[in-house]
């Protein structure tokens, strides 16, 4: 708190831990139900296509609602979107849980509940990502992105186990977990998380769309390459995991609870790597976000190549874990680049577009890899590896960290400056001395040229670039 206002923080704490519950709850949406779909199919006497619609009924509305949730969070605030979204998410789950108790054929009500959850998803993970971008700056923001990604991954590990355990009670018991967990998350957000009060409110829709157009005109190439990298990372990881699960059963004969544990290994590698990389990518290493992203994509592709060249259960687990390692390296760096690329008033919109791309990557990966299985080992592993290599090359050539990562001031002065810049006075700085504690320097990550394609020079004053501070005459 500074001068009565909540300002950007340097350290993570309990409010951020509560914020991390949002992606944790979000990832339960599909992952907790997938292991119990055969139970649902038998209990409701439905075919495979009909029971698969329980997943689709969530996924399609979620993909369409994410951009709307992003705009509303820029316009109204992060908490006013996340808290109602969590309540609606829980209500959809509750409807699915009580449907078998209330009616003879609960299938239609379960589908309706899943649609409600999909709409609610538009105000969850990506809005939490934008909120973390508002709450933190510089090194702490990089770490926060890693922890958020790790929370997402932790949900992927726990949710299949939780769903299977609850289904031991009755086939519809997993639906009741949604209102309990989302209710706790909403309560924690309401009581413990404060938004920075200096965050500039998003404009009306016409102006908002004009601002988004301006952002993509200025940074579009780097943003689009970043979005593509996120799509490919999610596409490969989730597609490979779907095949990995099948390959554990046939030909390796691993089933049941043991299979769940083995499936959790590469997801755990991705989760731990995301958490650690978020911590490591601080200080001077924050200058290397692009390098870490490119390296993560390279490791991801190398894991696919390893799977093509090897055979056996140990090699399957190791190769899939290498893919998870590359994913865990790339995503926190990518999240930081995107959340740092825009002012807080447009951050929700940009992260929402990014979230939509990621969401469809995760949704399209499993069916695509299912088709590639029919083409044999080369098609299954080498084609995605070539795609990852192509995106790696595009990122190395076209993505410019010095363009994406904005220079930030802390507090209300920064937002007044953003308003003047957005109002048609680009580059105008506030009159008078720099905000207390900045010493004339910009807080955040300096733009660093990363190859011959980076042409924007540092905007830091010479004293800040050389490490010497100018001491004014007394």
Angle at 104 between CA 99 and CA 110, to 5 degrees: 30
Interhelix angle 313-339/205-249, nearest 10 degrees = 170
The domain that holds 129 is classified in CATH as 1.20.1250.20
In a domain, 462, yes or no: no
Same domain flag for 146 and 206? no
- Whether 39 and 187 map to the same domain: the answer is yes
Is residue 288 scored above 70 in pLDDT?
yes
Q: What is the mean pLDDT of residues 69-95?
A: 92
For residue 391, pLDDT over 60 is answered with yes
Q: What pLDDT is attached to residue 464?
A: 41
Judged on CB neighbours under 10 Å (0-12, 13-18, 19+), 287 is: middle
Residue 450 domain-assigned?
no
Find the domain containing 30 and state its range: 1-199
**DSSP-derived 3-state class of residue 2:** strand
Q: What digits encode the pLDDT tens for the residues 255-280?
A: 766 776 787 788 889 888 988 887 77
What is the Cα–Cα distance from 387 to 390, expressed in whole angstroms? 5
Of the pLDDT bands very low, low, confident and very high (cuts 50, 70, 90), residue 430 is: very low
User: Has residue 192 been placed in a domain?
Assistant: yes
Least confident range from 120-134, 176-190, 216-230, 300-314: namely 120-134
From 372, 405, 438, the end of a domain falls on 405
Q: How many angstroms separate the CA atoms of 232 and 365, rounded?
A: 9
The three-state secondary structure class of 435 is: coil
Q: What is the mean pLDDT of residues 25-39?
A: 82
Residue 387: closest CA among 285, 276, 277, 300: 300
Contact present, 70 and 126 (Cβ < 8 Å): yes
Same domain, 372 and 319: yes
Question: Is there a single domain that holds both residue 76 and residue 215?
Answer: no
Cα dihedral 245, 246, 252, 257 sign: positive
**Band (2; pLDDT cuts 50, 70, 90):** very low
Largest distance between two CA atoms of the chain: 84
Both 35 and 138 in one domain: the answer is: yes
* Positive or negative: CA dihedral 437, 438, 439, 443: positive
Asked if residue 218 and residue 122 are part of one domain, the reply reads no
% of the chain beyond a pLDDT of 70: 79
**pLDDT-based confidence at 457, cuts 50/70/90?**
very low
Same domain, 207 and 182: no
User: In the prediction, which pLDDT does 467 show?
Assistant: 44
**Total number of residues shown for the chain:** 474
Is the model's pLDDT at 119 over the cut of 80?
A: yes
Q: Do the domain assignments include residue 284?
A: yes
Instruction: Report if residue 465 sits inside a domain.
Output: no
Q: Which of 164, 199, 234 marks a domain boundary?
A: 199
Average model confidence (pLDDT) for the chain? 78
Let me know whether 130 and 213 are in one domain: no
Contact 403, 276 (CB under 8 A): no
Greater confidence (472 vs 106) lies with 106
Note whether 314 and 339 are same-domain residues: yes
- Domain count within the chain: 2
Q: Are residues 278 and 392 in the same domain?
A: yes
pLDDT score, position 206: 82
Over residues 147-205, the pLDDT tens digits come to 887 787 788 788 878 888 888 899 999 999 999 999 999 999 999 888 766 556 666 77
Instruction: Note whether residue 179 is domain-resident.
Output: yes
Q: What is the pTM (predicted TM-score) of this model?
A: 0.69
Any domain includes 469:
no
Backbone angles phi, psi at 451, to 5 degrees: 130, 175
Query: 216 versus 301: which is more confidently predicted?
Result: 301
Res. 375: pLDDT tops 80:
yes
121/207 same-domain check: no
SS3 10: coil
**Domain boundary pick from 344, 374, 405:** 405
| 5, 21: one domain | yes
Structural domain includes residue 267: yes
């Amino acid at each position: 708190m500074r001068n009565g206002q909540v300002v950007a923080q340097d350290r993570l704490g309990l409010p951020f831990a509560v914020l991390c519950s949002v992606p944790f709850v979000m990832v339960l949406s599909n992952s907790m139900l997938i292991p119990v779909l055969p139970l649902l199919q038998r209990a409701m006497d439905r075919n495979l296509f009909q029971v698969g619609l329980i997943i689709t009924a969530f996924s399609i509305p979620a993909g369409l609602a994410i951009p709307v949730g992003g705009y509303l969070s820029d316009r109204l605030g992060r908490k006013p979107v996340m808290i109602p979204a969590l309540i609606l998410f829980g209500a959809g789950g509750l409807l699915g849980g009580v449907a078998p108790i209330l009616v003879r054929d609960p299938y239609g009500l379960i589908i309706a509940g899943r649609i409600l959850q999909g709409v609610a998803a538009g105000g969850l993970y990506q809005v939490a990502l934008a909120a973390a971008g508002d709450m933190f700056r510089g090194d702490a923001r990089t770490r926060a992105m890693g922890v958020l990604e790790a929370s997402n991954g932790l949900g992927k590990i726990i949710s299949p186990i939780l769903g299977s355990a609850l289904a031991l009670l009755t086939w519809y018991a997993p639906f009741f977990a949604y209102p309990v967990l989302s209710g706790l998350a909403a309560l924690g957000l309401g009581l413990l998380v404060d938004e920075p009060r200096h965050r500039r409110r998003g404009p009306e829709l016409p102006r908002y769309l004009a601002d988004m157009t301006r952002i993509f005109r200025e940074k579009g190439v780097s943003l689009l390459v970043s979005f593509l990298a996120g799509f490919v990372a999610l596409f490969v990881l989730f597609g490979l995991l779907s095949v990995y699960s099948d390959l554990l059963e046939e030909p390796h004969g691993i089933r049941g609870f043991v299979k769940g544990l083995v499936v959790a290994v590469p997801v755990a590698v991705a989760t731990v790597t995301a958490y650690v990389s978020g911590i490591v990518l601080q200080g001077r290493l924050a200058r290397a976000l692009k390098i870490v992203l490119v390296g993560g994509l390279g490791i991801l592709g190398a894991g696919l190549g390893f799977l093509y060249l090897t055979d056996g259960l140990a090699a399957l687990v190791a190769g899939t874990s290498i893919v998870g390692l590359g994913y865990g390296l790339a995503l926190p760096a990518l999240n930081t680049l995107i959340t740092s690329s825009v002012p807080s008033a447009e951050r929700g919109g940009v992260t929402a577009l990014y979230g939509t791309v990621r969401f469809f990557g995760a949704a399209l990966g499993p069916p695509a890899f299912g088709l590639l299985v029919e083409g044999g080992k080369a098609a299954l592993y080498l084609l995605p590896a070539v795609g990852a290599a192509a995106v790696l090359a595009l990122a190395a050539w076209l993505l410019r960290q010095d363009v994406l990562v904005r220079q930030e001031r802390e507090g209300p002065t920064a937002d007044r400056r953003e308003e003047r810049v957005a109002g048609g006075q680009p580059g105008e700085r506030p009159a008078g001395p720099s905000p207390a504690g900045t010493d004339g320097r910009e807080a955040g990550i300096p733009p660093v040229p990363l190859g011959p394609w980076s042409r924007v020079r540092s905007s830091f004053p010479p004293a800040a670039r050389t490490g010497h501070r100018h001491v004014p005459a007394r």
